[in-house]
């Protein structure tokens, strides 16, 4: 077995930094269900500030953050529009339907992860006054768009969705699990990027490398509703300052360095582009994800994942016939080279016999 692992399955595998662990030990704490944890309060204010919103609420996970935000926007019996490829539609067990009483309408996206206007329109009821139809109350967009390969949608692209939401009396929720990756890749102020969104959730636990937590931001009234829903869903946390302390360090030290992850992802894609039998488009790699596939190889994706894992290189299947590699704080340039040479060797060894 190789002595070290190159973990490319997800940026969720990042572990807290030494500075985070030190901050967790020293953090002033209180009971946050009573609203008395000063470290949580600081993180919530800092998050709201960074994203230009009035208030924030710390959540145990991105899944609960999306659920509470959507429930706060949308009364039971209304509906939610979310990309078929999105986390909200594909990976959250349809919580908004099961727990929120909301119809979940899948929206088709183009290859860049942008909701297709015709698909947004198709989700609208023919006649909002006709009691036969459920009326959607919120539209969700993911940025970066994970299954599109970590695409960073621009403020202008998000404005198109915001205009659609406004025109049809809907709220706009941004699943910004990796919103800082998007802002860094685009070179824009995160607050400017999310300006048209009514609410945003972002994950502290992905590339920012905090151990646990997401934050929902939005207007003060909206965040008050989210706070009640968080308690209802079982997400009220007592001395949550231990998590918030790591989250504050993540915001202080984790955002600017995301450009390193993006450079490593680009290098990985460029390396893989030189491997016969691997199809990848390095130009499209702007954030920390590389989407690639095998062509003309007898290897299945599952077999490549298994063989690479034996060599200590961990990859993930993304579905739709693609593989995914995600860079993060735990992956450096040497790891990228090792991943490329490992994948190249496996593909070469299993290449069809030359004629």
Ligand X SMILES: *Cc1c(COP(=O)(O)O)cnc(C)c1O
62 sits near ligand X (criterion: CB under 6 A): yes
Alpha-carbon span 310 to 2, nearest angstrom: 8
Taking the complex as a whole, the smallest distance from the CB of residue 293 to ligand X amounts, in Å, to 21
Please choose, out of 55-63, 270-278, 298-306, 345-353, the segment that lies near ligand X by the rule CB under 6 A.
55-63
- Among 37, 142, 261, 335, which residue interacts with ligand X (rule: CB under 6 A)? 142
The binder of ligand X chosen from 14, 63, 288, 322 (CB under 6 A) = 63
Query: 9, 339 in Cβ contact below 8 A?
Result: no
Kindly tell me which of 146 and 342 has the beta carbon lying closer to ligand X.
146
Q: Which one-letter DSSP state was computed for residue 209?
A: -
Q: Mark 174-213 with x for binding to ligand X (rule: CB under 6 A) and - for no binding.
A: -x-x-------------------------x-x--------
Residue closer to ligand X by CB (options 254, 271) is 254
Per-residue x/- track, 230-259, ligand X (CB under 6 A): ------------------------------
Please state the closest distance from residue 173 (CB atom) to ligand X, in A. Answer: 11
Should residue 87 be labelled a site residue for ligand X when binding is judged by CB under 6 A?
yes
214 binds ligand X (CB under 6 A): yes
Alpha-carbon distance 41 to 201, whole Å?
Answer: 16
The answer to whether residue 152 forms part of the interface with ligand X (CB under 6 A) is no
How far is residue 133's CA from residue 110's CA, in Å, rounded to a whole number?
27
Check residue 151 and report its DSSP letter. B
Q: Where are the alpha helices (DSSP H) in the chain?
A: 18-26, 38-50, 62-73, 87-90, 95-98, 117-122, 155-167, 179-186, 190-193, 220-232, 241-253, 258-273, 301-310, 333-349
Question: Strand order of the sheet with strand 214-218?
Answer: 55-59, 214-218, 199-203, 171-175, 136-142, 79-83, 103-107
φ, ψ of residue 318 in degrees (nearest 5): -105, -5
Count of residues that interact with ligand X, criterion CB under 6 A? 12
Contacting residues toward ligand X, per CB under 6 A: 61-63, 66, 87, 142, 146, 175, 177, 203, 205, 214
């Amino acid at each position: 077995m190789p002595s070290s692992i190159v973990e490319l399955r997800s940026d969720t595998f990042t572990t807290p930094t030494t500075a985070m662990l030190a901050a967790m030990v020293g953090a002033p704490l209180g009971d946050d269900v009573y609203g008395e944890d000063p470290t949580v309060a600081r993180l919530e204010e800092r998050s709201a500030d960074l994203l230009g919103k009035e208030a924030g609420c710390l959540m145990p996970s991105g899944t609960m953050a999306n659920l509470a935000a959507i429930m706060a926007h949308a009364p039971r019996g209304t509906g939610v529009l979310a990309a078929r490829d999105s986390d909200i539609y594909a990976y959250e067990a349809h919580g908004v339907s099961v727990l929120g009483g909301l119809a979940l309408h899948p929206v088709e996206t183009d290859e860049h992860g942008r909701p297709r206007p015709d698909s947004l329109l198709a989700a609208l009821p023919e006649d909002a006054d006709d009691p036969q139809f459920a009326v959607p109350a919120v539209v969700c967009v993911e940025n970066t768009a994970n299954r599109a390969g970590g695409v960073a949608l621009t403020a202008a692209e998000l404005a198109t969705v915001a205009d659609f939401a406004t025109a049809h009396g809907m709220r706009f929720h941004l699943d910004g699990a990796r919103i800082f990756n998007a802002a860094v890749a685009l070179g824009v102020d995160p607050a400017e990027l999310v300006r048209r969104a009514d609410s945003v959730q972002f994950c502290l636990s992905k590339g920012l490398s905090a151990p646990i937590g997401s934050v929902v931001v939005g207007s003060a009234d909206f965040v008050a509703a989210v706070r009640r829903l968080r308690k209802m869903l079982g997400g009220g946390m007592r001395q949550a300052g231990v998590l918030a302390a790591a989250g504050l360090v993540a915001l202080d030290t984790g955002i600017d360095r995301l450009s390193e992850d993006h450079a490593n992802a680009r290098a990985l894609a460029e390396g893989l582009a030189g491997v016969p039998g691997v199809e990848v488009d390095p130009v499209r790699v702007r954030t920390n994800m590389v989407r690639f596939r095998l062509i003309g190889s007898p290897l299945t994706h599952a077999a490549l994942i298994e063989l690479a894992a034996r060599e200590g290189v961990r990859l993930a299947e993304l579905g739709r016939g693609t593989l995914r590699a995600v860079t993060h704080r735990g992956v450096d340039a040497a790891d990228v080279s090792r991943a490329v040479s490992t994948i190249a060797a496996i593909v070469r060894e299993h290449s069809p016999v030359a004629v």
